[in-house]
């Protein structure tokens, strides 16, 4: 059985994961409109992945005798002035998600909720990967700078990055 504190914290994480999905979806739409097929493909995939993270939490809460809450979401507020700015926002968001997961782990350990602690280890590992992926992308964009040819090649590489992301960044 989940404590009230743990249930509230997990429900807050459901909202954060859903908002993460929305952020990636907004970025995917923007990239698609701009003609960046590789980036949009990557972002659409990431949006789906974040939704799966949310659903996993929702099912866990319900299975542990709690009640998962599906709440209203904040509209993504993103700065689309440059790819560097966009991906920096993405990286910073993933760092915030990692901090939230770490807080959940702390609540689980403090409350001696070892089942939830065990469940959360998947999220800890996932966030290491998410942060690393966002950082690799940001580093590549920093290398490209304002070079249009480099941006074209980067977009093309994102198609392959999408297919290999889980194999290369672990």
Rounded-to-integer distance, Cα 53 and Cα 62, Å: 15
What's the burial of 14, exposed, middle or buried (CB within 10 Å: 0-12/13-18/19+)?
buried
Q: Is residue 129 a known part of a binding site?
A: no
Rounded-to-integer distance, Cα 57 and Cα 10, Å: 7
Rounded-to-integer distance, Cα 145 and Cα 135, Å: 15
| Alpha carbon separation from 70 to 10, 16, 47 (Å, rounded) | 11, 11, 17
Residue 130 CB-half CA count within 13 A? 28
| Alpha carbon separation from 120 to 13, 47, 90, 103 (Å, rounded) | 11, 20, 22, 11
Q: Is residue 17 a known part of a binding site?
A: yes
Q: Is residue 127 a known part of a binding site?
A: yes
Q: Is residue 99 a known part of a binding site?
A: no
Q: Is residue 37 a known part of a binding site?
A: no
Annotated binding site for Fe cation: 17, 50, 53, 94, 127
Annotated binding site: 17, 50, 53, 94, 127
């Amino acid at each position: 059985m989940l404590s009230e504190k743990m249930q509230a914290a997990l429900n807050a994480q459901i909202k954060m994961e859903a908002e993460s999905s929305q952020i990636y979806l907004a970025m995917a739409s923007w990239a698609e409109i701009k003609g960046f097929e590789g980036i949009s493909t990557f972002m659409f995939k990431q949006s789906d992945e974040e939704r799966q993270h949310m659903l996993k939490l929702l099912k866990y809460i319900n299975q542990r005798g709690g009640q998962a809450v599906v709440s209203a979401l904040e509209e993504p507020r993103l700065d689309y002035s440059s790819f560097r700015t966009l991906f920096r926002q993405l990286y910073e968001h993933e760092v915030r998600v990692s901090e939230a997961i770490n807080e959940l782990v702390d609540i689980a350990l403090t409350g001696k909720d070892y089942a939830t602690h065990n469940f959360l280890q998947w999220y800890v590992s996932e966030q290491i990967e998410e942060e690393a992926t966002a950082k690799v992308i940001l580093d590549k964009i920093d290398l490209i700078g304002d070079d249009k040819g480099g941006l074209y090649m980067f977009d093309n590489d994102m198609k392959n990055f999408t297919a290999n992301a889980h194999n290369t960044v672990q």
